[in-house]
Amino acid sequence: MNFKLALAAAAVVGLAGTAQAADLAKKAPAAANYVKVCDAYGAGFFYIPGSETCLKIGGYARFQLSGYGLSRNWIGTHGGVYGWQRGLNGISTLARADLTVDARTNTEMGLLRSYIEILADNASYSAGGGTNVYLDKAFIQFAGLTAGRAQSFFDFVYPGNAPTTLSAGAELFPDARVNLLAYTFSFGNGITASLSIEDPSTSANSNPAGSTQAARRATLGALGGIYGGVHSPDLVANVNITQAWGSAQISGVLHDDVSAVDGVNGKLGWAALAGVKINLPMLGEGDAIALQGTYGQGALGYVLSGWQGGSAVSTRDFYVNGTGIDQSTGYALYAGLTHNFNKKVYATLAGGFAAYDAPSIADANDYNYVDVRGTIGWKPVAGLLIAGEVGYGRVDYRNNTATRLDSDKVLFDLRIQRSF
């Protein structure tokens, strides 16, 4: 009996050894890919499984209600001759979706980044409802190089970059997304310099409804038979410093004015910008003030993106005069302040002044424009914003006519936005 038990035990041990040998010959199961947090570039990034690329997906959903109160003489985007026309809206609504994708990879030659932002609007405005899908940004950055559709390297103060109000944009400062090829030199201590080749015919601000407006090829009205094709890109340069106290920038651009009239010689236009943003932690966390001035000749789309915000005048870069062109000049000033009462309530106050000076052959079109806006915002929970804004604008013409009289407007906006 003992002999039989010993033999059975030996057989069990042998079978177990054989099973273990068979297991050793099998391939180990593949390790599962889990999404891992990437903290190298800030909150919200994660590793794409199976790669060294960090990805962040963001955006927002927005509702906005706007209303306008115009004087009897107002002639602008939202009004007709002697105030309102029957077919135009006194209020407008906006529903916007914004989606951003930010992918970054650290390579032996530096950071490789691609960024995409797509906007979709359904808005009434004055021309009636409609949905617009708009590629706001799509660019690649690598070792100082930026290529694609991005914020113009000329701009400094624009929405999201400095103290501003809900609808402040075209009426207060230059703001354009444009197709470009640029290189940025870094000198350390927060100092950079950039050179950019930009296509002015692709220029548009952050409003998809105006995405077809070539804001830097010519301002409103100038496309109507006087502006020729783009013969050369705009050349933009800037120097920027960003440190703990805030940031500052100077920018310049050379812009080719080409007439659509054959036999008329073109001219080189130009514009310059100087701006500063100063942090004010002594007033409150996140408080800041921004100041900016722009001036240009024959390149008014760089001075201000929204001359058409209230003027009845066709604000042109130049006028045809015989076999040549006479260029217009203009300047714009901006100031904006943000104050945070606490982590949930903030207020902004922003204002701008612009002056348009046509050449002598059309100096009757000269005018000044002023715009002031104030906002109060409430963030009841993280990611949610409920804000209201009121504003005032006025146009003063050099020469009043029966259809072009000094006028003013009052506006209001209500915005509800959830960001993620």
Question: What is the C-alpha R_g of the chain?
Answer: 29
| % of the chain with per-residue pLDDT over 90 | 50
Q: Is 135 helix (H, G, I), strand (E, B) or coil?
A: strand
How crowded is the C-beta side of 123, counted as CA atoms within 13 Å?
A: 22
pLDDT band for position 408 (cuts 50, 70, 90): confident
Compute the CA torsion angle 290, 294, 299, 302 (nearest 10 deg): 0
**Is-contact 221 214, C-beta < 8 A?**
no
> Distance between CA 91 and CA 169 in Å, rounded?
19
Residue 116's nearest CA partner among 97, 128, 102 is 102
**Taking the CB of residue 419, how many other CB atoms lie within 10 A of it?**
14
Domain residue ranges of the chain, discontinuous segments joined by +:
55-419
**In this predicted structure, what is the pLDDT of residue 27?**
58
pLDDT digit string, tens, across residues 366-397: 888 898 999 999 999 999 999 999 988 888 88
**Helix (H), strand (E) at residue 65:** strand 54-70
Maximum Cα–Cα distance across the chain: 126
Residue 169 reports pLDDT greater than 70: no
Residue 420 reports pLDDT greater than 90: yes
pLDDT band for position 149 (cuts 50, 70, 90): very high
Whole-structure pTM value: 0.85
How crowded is the C-beta side of 363, counted as CA atoms within 13 Å?
A: 3
**In this predicted structure, what is the pLDDT of residue 259?**
86
Looking at CATH, the fold of the domain delimited by 55-419 is given as Porin (2.40.160)
